[in-house]
Amino acid sequence: MSKYMLIMRGTDESNAAMMANVQELMAATRTFLEEADKAGVYLGAEGLDDPSLGVVVHFGDEAPVVTDGPYGETKELFGGFFLLDVASKQEAVEWAKRVPAVAGTKIEVRRVPEEDEVPDQSGEFAKEGARPDSRGQN
C-alpha cells in the first residue's frame, strides 16, 4: 500500500460554482469520505479557507517577503486534499475520478514517499530499492 494525495485545484470560476452548490457538494463529499473509509483507504482530508484570507511568503535573495491574498495572475489555487492509502497509482486515480467536483476543477494525484524513500545528504536512500521508478512505484 502507498499513500497518495489527491490535491484539489480550482479556478475563480470553479470555486464560485462550488460555492453556489456548497451544501450539495458537501453532502456528496461526506458520502465519498464514508465510501473511502469503508473501503479502508481513507487517511485524511482537509479543505482550505478562501485565498483572500491567506498570505504568501516569498523567498528570494533577501529576507522573505509576505504578500496578502488574493493573488494576482493565479490561474489555479490549491483548495484542499484527500489522503488515501491505496495499492497503486491507478487505484488512486480511480478514487480521484469519484471526488465530487464542479466543472473546471482539477485533481492532481501525487504519491507521498515513505520516510525511508527520502535521500540523505549523499543522495542515497535508506532502504534498498526505495528510489521510485518512472511510474512512481517502488
Tell me what pLDDT residue 74 has: 67
Q: What nine digits make up the cell of 77?
A: 489555487
The answer to the question of residue 121 being in a domain is: no
Amino acid at 73: E
What is the mean pLDDT of the segment spanning 14-27? 92
The answer to the question of residue 19 being in a domain is: yes
The answer to the question of residue 130 being in a domain is: no
38: pLDDT strictly greater than 80 = yes
Tell me what pLDDT residue 134 has: 47
The answer to the question of residue 131 being in a domain is: no
Amino acid at 130: A
Tell me what pLDDT residue 123 has: 66
The answer to the question of residue 122 being in a domain is: no
pLDDT-derived band at 108 (thresholds 50, 70, 90) equals very high
C-alpha to C-alpha distance for 128 and 33, rounded to whole angstroms: 35
pLDDT-derived band at 15 (thresholds 50, 70, 90) equals confident
Q: What nine digits make up the cell of 23?
A: 451544501
Rg (C-alpha) for the chain, rounded Å, is 18
The answer to the question of residue 67 being in a domain is: yes
CATH number for the domain that contains residue 32:
3.30.70.1060
H-only helix segments in 3-133 = 12-20, 22-38, 89-98
Cis peptide before 70 (omega within 30 of 0): yes
The answer to the question of residue 17 being in a domain is: yes
Beta carbons of 110 and 5 less than 8 angstroms apart: yes
How many domains would you assign to the chain?
1
Rounded percentage of the chain residues whose pLDDT exceeds 90 = 57
User: Residues 131, 136, 137, CA angle at the centre, nearest 5°?
Assistant: 75
What does the DSSP 8-state code read for residue 104? T
C-alpha to C-alpha distance for 111 and 113, rounded to whole angstroms: 6
User: By three-state DSSP, how is residue 2 classified?
Assistant: strand
The answer to the question of residue 33 being in a domain is: yes
User: By three-state DSSP, how is residue 44 classified?
Assistant: strand
> Over the stretch 48-106, which tens digit does the pLDDT of each residue have?
888 888 888 889 999 999 988 766 666 788 899 999 999 999 999 999 999 999 999 99
pLDDT-derived band at 30 (thresholds 50, 70, 90) equals very high
137: pLDDT strictly greater than 60 = no
**Over the chain, what is the mean pLDDT?**
87
What is the mean pLDDT of the segment spanning 16-36? 95
> What is the extent of the structural domain holding 69?
2-115
Q: How far is CA 116 from the centre of its chain?
A: 21
